[in-house]
Structure 1
Amino acid sequence: MNLNLLSCDAQRPDKRAISNCLAEISGIDGSLASELTEILLEGDPVEIEVEDKNTSSAYRALRKLGIDYEIVE
């Protein structure tokens, strides 16, 4: 399943936590996760692929970090 990460509305976004979350839920390496985090925090949407077994935990983690997302079918 693909998710389109739209924005992060946390007052003080934790770049490291967001990067670790992206790496964990999508299975990408740390450097790519850091790059995608920077893009997201600059205000541009980012699309990631989440494995089906991780979907419910991915939703919870993204909400906890203040990341708005939409499901791409």
Structure 2
Amino acid sequence: MRALTCLAAGLLGFILGWVLASASALIMGELSGVSQAEGAYAMGAIFFVGPAGGLFGAILAGWMGWRWYSRRKRAL
């Protein structure tokens, strides 16, 4: 059950990390006036910054799921 909890947390963290990292990169690019010639900046934000944020989110969420399950099991 612990593995399933960590897998679900990691998947959710990957998706949320990807979306938040991509959105923040796009917003920061718009605010700083980065050129959007042919969508190059947007593609870089989605396909480079997004996976990096997704990987970080998956690792963080998997670790948090592991700790949450361990503490919950000790409390019972």
Query: If the length of structure 1 is used for normalisation, what is the TM-score?
Result: 0.25
Which structure has the bigger radius of gyration? Answer: 2
Larger helix proportion, structure 1 or 2? Answer: 2
Query: If the length of structure 2 is used for normalisation, what is the TM-score?
Result: 0.24
Larger strand proportion, structure 1 or 2? Answer: 1
